Structure 1
Amino acid sequence: MAWRDAKASRVRLLLFMASIILGIAAVVAIQLFSTNLKDNIQRQSKALMGADYIIDTRQVPTERAQTIIDSLKPDASEVNFMSMVAFPKNGGTKLVKVRGLEGDFPFYGTIETQPALAAATYQETGGALVDATLLLQFNIKPGDSIKVGHITLPIIGALKAIPGSTAISTSVAPPIIIPYRFIKDTELLQFGSRKEYQYFYKASDTLDLEVFEAKINPMLKAESADLDTHTSTSERLGRRYDNVGKFLNLAAFIALLLGCIGIASSVHIYIKEKLKAIAVLKCMGASRLQSFLIFLIQISGIGIIGGLIGALVGVGVQELFPLLLKDFLPFSVTISISAQPIVMGVFLGLFMSVLFALLPLLRTWYVSPLEVLRVNEQASQEPKKVKFTVFLIILSFLFLFSYWLLQDVAYALGFVIATLITFAVLAGVALLCIKLIRKYFPKRWGFTARQSLLNLFRPNNQTVVLVVAIGLGTFLISTLYFTKDILLSKTEVGQTAGSANLIILDVQSEQRDALKQTITSQGLPIVDNIPLVTMRMHRIKDQLVNDMKKDTTKQVRGWILNHEFRTTYRDSLIASEELLEGVWTSELKPGDPIVISISDNLAKDAKVGVGDAIVFNVQGVLMETTIGSIRKVDWGKIQLNFSIVFPKGVLEKAPQFNVISTSAPNEVASANLQRDLVQKFPNVSILDLRQVITIIEDILDKVSWIINFMAFFSILTGIIVLIGSVRTSKYQRIKESVLLRTLGAKNSQILRISAFEYVFLGLLGSLVGILLALVSSLFLALFVFKEPFTPSLIPFLVFLPGITILVLGIGLSNIQTVLRSSPLEVLRKEG
């Protein structure tokens, strides 16, 4: 019976099936890709690092650290740092990451170059490997030369890939590789230079890296060094991409939920039409269970077939993810297919179809033959206890599935609550509109307008489900768009006239005046001249830092104890700072007790407050200080911010270097200044904020493209639900439209009736979705990003009319059968 009835209603059942296919496809694709990603990270963990383990330190190793490093016999070593380089061929300059390598690194994986032989010969020939994109940018080829500090080297190859780097990580400072023996000759490692020393090791197969790391790492950390194994690094990398996977899974899950709501609505109308047929079956002796099972088998079949098709589509879609995420991955992902996500897809299709169709299906159970034969709107209502039980099962499933995706109870609960609020608001607005239209129905309006409004609250109307489907899709896309604007607003520093857009780093004291003269001679201003003094904490309150490092019960965060602070001195707060506690001290006289100002995050991590004492080691000299104030610092601003600020009159004679900033009006002036500075002061590094902002925008564009791709599943699912719902409502309207034509209504009138209804639904759904996105983005801006929020008009000017027109087009295509045929023909066909 189920098979026979399904054949007669195959078009409608196919639309039910289509509602869940994309949601299943999205979930399966992401699950498959996440599984492949984890497998690839584990399989390629050594190739990702290039070694079995690495010891690194951001300073010249201490005597004890060097003893440990030497005792383990490193197979290769590296020093890397940021610096400016120049291309003598055309005078181009660029901030790069200089990597001085010695030894046969990498031991696993390869350095990919063009020509391929360059990776094996650059150390012997004394040449440089330069990032391939950088060569294209400056129209440089292997055979040309590059000036690194005080030396000029031939470029013997274009660097295409090296273990541990990604396209995103090399955007700001592309890598160049030179032999380690040339680093000293460059004279780039000056006082205050940021640098990193790395030592690469190849371990024996018998070495237990976890035990080894647990034993050696504490000794190295006490000497401000660190040990990373390929296993621990791959685990961190896996967790990083795991977070991305969780977000994408939730986006896919929303698409699936949307499809299930479409199924629930469509099955509701479908079952309502079948009640008379069920009544006949019951009069002929069919039991409640038999009538219930007929339609349960249909919905189960839809779920299984839809889940299987969705799983197969997901297998195909996952092939796109390596292309979408290639800039964020440090390796190539080998795709393989496992059975688990496919089985999960089929199970989800079956379980969610039945779960969300259960309430309408139960109507077949709680109806007596006599009641069904006199079917009306009030008939066959299932008990409230049953409704409550089904809703509880649905909520429990949503929570458990969310927890399985997120592995966090609070986040899973938050996601379920947020989902319920969003759906409730959309459904509530739709119901409120229906109520208002009924209460304030415009009886004096024209016939077509009144008939359209009546359709919105007639029996079997689709107003609620269409508003939810349209609104949710619009909400996702609009929230993404508004959030992207908030993130981009954080990069606006440096783009206004007069603000610094060129930052010159590592300026030595003896270079300061000559460098300032070079800038002003080109007609450019000195915006900031910030002195920097490096120091470490020696004692916090009454405890020595060295003792705290050994204390396993300490509450102070580890980075505080190992960090080399770059501090400054000045007499006033800057725009990115706000005084929270204490009193700001602008200047001290000789002999006064030294008071300092620290950032709120430093105070929290170091467990200190106003009045507490900190002793600093300033280049071997101990300096006692007292915390005088705590500042709130906006670290998101693209400008120099400091955890520790001294007043004037304390550090002027300490060993220091400077950061000088200026404002170039255009790219030509910026390029000329950079070229001049690199020639005269090879050790300085120049950060062009315009380039940084462009890179940030590019990264955000790539991220938003990925999110858009996932939101596309929700939008497309929403459209399919829309088509399914509209097509389902078609069967309710055909007789109504035919009767209107029989009574003399023209095709144009019927078109206007439908058009007005769908325009209203499209406008209401998309407008509520955009307004919800506006509110959620406002909360994000105020409480997460802590930024002022200026909403874009694009969602209102593009999304609102675009989605409304789409809804209108689908709705009007629904009644073409009625318009093209005679009333009698249509009535006979429906009969």
Structure 2
Amino acid sequence: MNAFSAAHAVRLAHRELRGGIGGLRVFLACIVLGVAAIAGVGSLGASVVAGIKVDARDLLGGDAEARLAYRPAGTAERAFLAQSGRLSEIATMRAMARTQGGNRRSLIELKAVDAAYPLYGVVALAPEQSLGAAIDRRGDYFGAAVDPAILERLGLVLGDTVKIGEATLQLRATIEREPDAAAGGLEFGPRVIVSAEALAESGLIRPGALVTYHYRLQLPGGIDPGSWAERARSAFPAAGWQIRTFGEASPSLQRLIDRLTLFLTLVGLTALLVGGVGIGNAVGGYIAGKTATIATLKCLGAPTRLVFAVYFVEIMAFALLGICTALAFGALVPVVSMPLLAHVLPVSIRLGVYPGPLALAALFGLLTTLVFTLWPLAGIGRVPAGALFRDTVDRARRRVPPTVLGATGVLTFGLAALAIGSAQDRTVGLWFVVGAVGAFALFRLAGAAVIHGARTLGRPHRPALRLALANLHRPGAPTAQIVLSLGIGLTVLVAIALVEGNLAREVENRLPAEAPAFFFIDIQPDQLAGF
């Protein structure tokens, strides 16, 4: 098609659209819902990942961290760390906190910090005060900043005292925000922050104690944390410490976000594919309703290629409108989610427009639209000019032009490649594509089987049943499309129910019939007799 014909097609499409959008509202809704889901999930994931990168030093607690289990750093090791930059020493372990009467106890995550903590970020306490003021010694007691959950568990209020080991600590503040909380890994109890001197007074540090020492550094400007980590490993190859830089501040949180983004994106793509069936049905119905207009254009000498281009331009115009609307909704998802996730995520969501996820969602929407609309648009070629003067029934087998068939195949392959290539886990993306293709093929065959079965049942004596069966296999009957739409939609619902049921069953099956009510950690050999 030359430039003149293309401009003519656009002009005719514009005139056609001035008469109303007809049945394209469903088409528009299907595109908006699917693309908005993908764009929203991608934008939210990108905003959280951006927050992780910006807050990486806060999450780790430094530019780099050297972690030792069960032993503190030796003299030479500590000297090397102290010479590298500003150093903060932290000790973490699990312990039991008990009330003064000893009648109530709770497992806690104990964290002993020095005066330099935190190197990055701020520990927010309630009532508002500095961490040093909350945990220093006043009179006979060291202080402690605690997770609010421990107050409820032990039935205490701020100002009361608890016993941790041999030390008596006064509860002076609750922890509102702990910047490096996500770097600690799995926790079994509420957090209690004390001073290093209070930990020494508790008597919990003894040979065999399950304590982890964290040495965090604020490196001078110009020193690359990765290069420093290599020097530390080379200088002390037998130290046995684990060294992380701020680029690896919270790998578990990063993996969680990546997996959630992957699966939610696949859910959004599933919704878009299910909507694709609705897109195809809506376009087919729209073209069927334009039979008289198509016949008129052909009577006036318009070739089939020009008529096809007119309606292709109309469909693409509405597709772009739906995609742009969906991208606007998707870009707003982080803004709407920010207040809901502020107290759940250890990082702040970085608001902004992220072109990558939006472009990916737009490409998914465009490819899906093309895959599901070219086939029904091919029906324009089967509308004769004589349809303007008499109603016709298309009894011939519907043959799709080779060009449309080839284009649909290429676009389908492109959509599958995009789904696999954009997935963080290519294997999951591949199985998703295989499952989607298998489901579409299965329900398409099921629709053909329903039509064949209705045709072979003959002519029942009851008129209502005879008419019902005839409507299932008559020319132009939407039986196959209905079976495909219902089948794909129910497949999604069943898949969600099965995943939920399997997860619940997995938890139930892994729990023993008789599980202990309590478990104890860090029992010393001289304490075994008491158990």
Normalising TM by the smaller chain, what interval? 0.7 to 0.9
Displacement after TM superposition at 1:202 (Å): 1.0
CA contact (8 A) 1:312 1:342 kept: no
Counterpart mapping for 1:15-94 below 5 A: 15-61=26-72, 63=74, 65-66=77-78, 68-72=80-84, 75-88=87-100, 91-94=103-106
Displacement of 1:318 in angstroms is 3.3
* Structure 1 pair 408–142 and aligned structure 2 pair: CA distance change class (3 A): closer
* Per-residue Cα deviation, 1:110-136 (whole angstroms, up to 9, x for no partner): 111111205231232320111023324
Alpha-carbon distance in 2 for matches of 1:57, 1:453:
76
1:382-401 alignment, distance < 5 Å: 382-383=399-400, 385-401=402-418
| Cα offset, 1:476, TM superposition | 3.1
Q: Out of 424, 435, 451, which is 1:434 matched to?
A: 451
For 1:185, the equivalent position in structure 2 comes to: 201
**1:50 is aligned with what amino acid?**
G
| Contact kept? 1:82, 1:98, Cα under 8 Å | yes
1:638-649 to structure 2, matched below 5 A, reads: none
1:119 is aligned to 2:135: no
Whole-angstrom distance in 2 between the partners of 1:114 and 1:469: 55
- d(CA) in 1 for partners of 2:456, 2:234: 74
Task: Say which of 210, 224, 241 aligns to 1:194.
Answer: 210
Aligned positions of 1:181-260 closer than 5 A: 181-217=197-233, 219-220=235-236, 222-233=238-249, 237-260=253-276
Residue equivalent to 1:106: 118
Q: Deviations over 1:496-550 (max 9, x none)?
A: 65443432233333322232xxxxxxxxxxxxxxxxxxxxxxxxxxxxxxxxxxx
Measured in 2, the distance between the counterparts of 1:168 and 1:61 equals: 18
* Residue among 133, 148, 160 paired with 2:149: 133
Please report how far the alpha carbon of residue 353 of structure 1 lies from its aligned counterpart in structure 2 after TM superposition: 2.3
Q: Which residue of 1 aligns with 2:4?
A: none
Contact 1:107 1:202 in 2 (8 A): yes
Deviations 1:558-578 (A, max 9, x none): xxxxxxxxxxxxxxxxxxxxx
Spell out, residue by residue over 1:410-460, the C-alpha distance to the aligned partner (whole angstroms, 9 max, x if none). 443332112111222333333323333433368255x54554454444444
Letter of the aligned partner of 2:17 in structure 1? A
Counterpart in the other structure of 2:13:
2
What's the CA shift for 1:310?
A: 1.1
C-alpha offsets along residues 679-719 of structure 1, whole Å, 9 cap, x if unaligned? xxxxxxxxxxxxxxxxxxxxxxxxxxxxxxxxxxxxxxxxx
Q: What is the CA distance between 1:179 and its match in structure 2?
A: 0.8
After superposition, the C-alpha distances for 1:196-236 in whole angstroms (9 at most, x for unaligned) are: 11011111111112222233235556321011111232677
Amino acid in structure 2 at the alignment position of 1:93? R
Distance 2:103 2:130 in 1: 24
Match of 1:354 among 347, 354, 370: 370
In 2, Cα distance between the equivalents of 1:348 and 1:207?
43
The question of whether the paired residues in 2 share the 8 Å contact of 1:75 and 1:104 is answered with yes
Distance 1:147 1:53, change over 3 A: same
Q: CA deviation at 1:161?
A: 1.8
Conserved? CA contact 1:128–1:153, under 8 Å: yes
> Counterpart of 1:512?
528
* C-alpha distance in 2 between matches for 1:380 and 1:426: 20
Q: 1:72-99: per-residue Cα shift (whole Å, max 9, x none)?
A: 3652111111122113379332111111
Determine if contact 1:143/1:156 at 8 Å carries over to the other structure.
Answer: yes
Letter in 1 for 2:451: I
For residues 661-740 of structure 1, what are the structure 2 equivalents within 5 Å? none
C-alpha spacing 1:95/1:485, structure 2 compared with 1 (3 Å): farther
Aligned pair count? 514
Distance 1:170 1:454 in 2: 64
Residue 326 of structure 1 deviates from its aligned partner by: 5.2
Q: Retained in 2: the 8 A contact 1:217–1:226?
A: no
Contact 2:88/2:117 (8 A) holds in 1:
yes
CA contact (8 A) 1:75 1:103 kept: no
Residues 308 and 345, structure 1, Cα contact 8 Å, conserved in 2: no
Please tell me the residue identity of whatever aligns with 1:414.
Answer: W
Answering whether residue 161 of structure 2 is matched by residue 149 of structure 1, we say no
In the other structure, the counterpart of 1:443 is: 460
Q: Which residue identity does 1:438 align to in structure 2?
A: R
Change (3 A) 1:484 1:448: same
Q: Corresponding residue for 1:311?
A: 327
**Separation in 2, partners of 1:457, 1:87:** 78
Displacement of 1:180 in angstroms is: 1.0
Choose the corresponding residue for 1:419, options 418, 422, 436: 436
Q: Which has the higher contact order (CA 8 A, sep 6+)?
A: 2
Separation in 1 of the partners of 2:61 and 2:472?
Answer: 64
Match of 1:640 in 2: none
Picking from 273, 284, 296, the partner of 1:268 is: 284
Contact 1:455 1:461 in 2 (8 A): yes
Secondary structure of 2:95's counterpart equals strand
Given that 1:88 and 1:145 are in contact with CA atoms closer than 8 Å, whether structure 2 keeps it comes out as yes
Using the TM superposition, give the Cα deviation of residue 255 of structure 1 relative to its aligned residue in structure 2, in angstroms.
1.2
From the superposition, tell whether residues 234 and 173 of structure 1 become closer, same or farther in structure 2 (CA, over 3 Å).
closer
TM-score of the superposed pair, with normalisation by structure 2:
0.86
CA distance in 2, matches of 1:99, 1:450: 79
Q: How does 1:745-764 map to 2 (within 5 A)?
A: none
Amino acid at match of 1:465: Q
Please state how far the C-alpha of 1:68 moved relative to its aligned partner: 3.8
Distance 1:319 1:66 in 2: 45
Residues 439 and 191 of structure 1: CA distance in aligned 2, closer, same or farther (over 3 Å): farther
Measure, in 2, the Cα distance between the counterparts of 1:150 and 1:472: 64
Q: Name the SS of the counterpart of 2:89 in structure 1.
A: strand
Compare 264-273 and 140-149 and name the one that shifted more. Answer: 264-273
1:335 aligned residue: 351
2:9 counterpart residue number: none
The residue type paired with residue 127 of structure 2 is P
What is the CA–CA distance in structure 1 between the aligned matches of 2:474 and 2:183, rounded to whole Å?
Answer: 57
The letter for the 1-side match of 2:429 is A
Other structure's SS at 2:262 match: helix
Alpha-carbon distance in structure 1 between the residues aligned to 2:490 and 2:340: 23
1:163 CA displacement: 1.8
Gapped regions of structure 2 (runs ≥ 5): 1-11
